[in-house]
Amino acid sequence: MSKPRVFVTQPIAESALARLRAVAEVEVNADSSRVLPKDQLIAGVKRCDILLSLLHDTVDRDVLAANPNLKAVSSMNITQDRIDLAAATELGIPVTNIPAIVTDATADIAFGLLLSVARRIVEGDRLFRQGIYPGSQSNHLAGAAVTGKTLGLVGFGRIGQALARRARGFDMKIVYADPRRLAAADEAKFGATHRSFEELLSEADFVSLHPQLTPETRHLMGERQFALMKPTAFVINTSRGPVIDEAALVRALRERRIAGAGLDVYEREPAVSPELVAMPNVVLTPHLGSAVFELREGMAHVVVDNILALIENRPPVSCFNPQVLKKLF
């Protein structure tokens, strides 16, 4: 019996690939510098039995239907943002995912963005590389204080709580807005105080976004919300890009209605507004939330665990559409 064919959209940890190669014919797109264009993704799907996709890959109906013999999509996603799950289910294709194991890494990058934009670290690095040294007590690169300031967390789940723990090390005041208010004992544990969304926006020196992307949270931050923020406040987004109306953010920054932004995600990712790119008070990273060697290796092994289970006719570790599995096992 021939081995199943697996197409991997970008390189993943070699230790995980070695496990996969032991049971399957594996083709890996070797270019890790860019998202695979749709036509090349479709071409890869036509050559495989199982697609191993990453978070940035858009697996729509065209991709899923490109190969009538496609057996499964094993995704490194925690959520289904870029996968047409309805189409996959209709076509009888199981779509596996990974559990929520990126909490600490995402909280780290969120606090890194906060520090970088407030203290103008990236801007200072860029100028120094250009030979500019204003002097150690010059106000040329003076930024905003972080210690003792108010951090507003929009969404207080796993990542919001992890960021709160980090912020306490900087003696920050923690306020949060979430439809599900914590019990008083849990609020005390985090040193956090509940606020309405509008109250939080008006009070916080740093607004960090952590909601799940739903129809209700799309453009959660728009003209009205930016108008409620302090002109000295910063917005940080490590959740999902469409939570922010990017055009409204550009206007708020251009008109100095807020002080700056730290972004790891974008509304039309991987595209980003050229105006944001040009602004020195904006720190931009290319969706680095889970970009930690050890974590990415662990994520890759979970994806391979799912593929091995499917090959061996066992239920995978986790699956977006388990109803499809009922027909297979």
Active centre residues (catalytic): 240, 269, 287
In sequence order, which residues have a C-beta less than 8 Å from that of residue 244 and are 6 or more positions away?
209, 219, 220, 221, 235, 237, 263, 267
CB atoms within 10 A of CB 125: 11
- Determine the residue type at 21: R
- Partners of residue 177 on adjacent β-strands: 154
Nearest by Cα to 153 from 164, 142, 168, 139: 164
CA 208/CA 52 separation, integer angstroms:
32
CA 176/CA 238 separation, integer angstroms:
16
Which tokens is 245 given?
A: 């109306």
What is the DSSP code (8-state) at residue 79?
S
Nearest by Cα to 74 from 58, 55, 39, 50: 50
Which tokens is 242 given?
A: 């469409």
CB atoms within 10 A of CB 328: 12
